[in-house]
Amino acid sequence: MRDYKFSYIYQHDDTGRIINKIFDIHEIELEQMLNGFIKGYSLVLRRQDTGLKDRNGVSIYEGDILCHPLQGNRFVEYGSPFKNYGGYMLVSKNKMRGTLNDTDKLYEVIGNIYENPELLENKEGN
């Protein structure tokens, strides 16, 4: 059975600093996640684990920026690249879309669009 994990992105109320905390569904259901709320930070958003891992075994979440040696840097988004099909997509800065699947083991998580938006500026794929 798949272990559902969520990434919670928080932003500091005064400085704007972004931090990321990971919780699994069991922590959320048991309300242990309440300990994850940090004084002085506001919850910005919640991201779900795609169930896929990069070439180093790192879990891939919505909003992660992935580097591919041939395709450049792209970010992960949930949506529908094809009619009547929903799933995780790879999106380039210029909004070109492609599917994210478990067969391409060349991807590497290098950051996310909330903490490292500048990574989409570099090594951009088409």
Q: What is the pLDDT of residues 81-109, one digit of tens each?
A: 566 667 888 888 877 777 787 777 889 99
pTM comes to 0.77
What's the pLDDT score for residue 126? 45
Q: Model confidence at 16, in pLDDT bands (50, 70, 90)?
A: very high
Tell me, yes or no, whether 111 lies in a domain.
yes
Q: How many angstroms separate the most distant Cα atoms in the chain?
A: 43
Beta strands in the chain (DSSP E): 5-12, 18-24, 41-53, 59-61, 64-68, 72-82, 85-91, 97-99, 108-112
**Average pLDDT score over the chain:** 82
Tell me, yes or no, whether 125 lies in a domain.
no
CATH code, 56:
2.30.30.290
Residue ranges making up the domain that contains 28: 5-120
In tens, the pLDDT along 33-67 reads 565 567 888 888 889 999 899 999 999 999 999 99
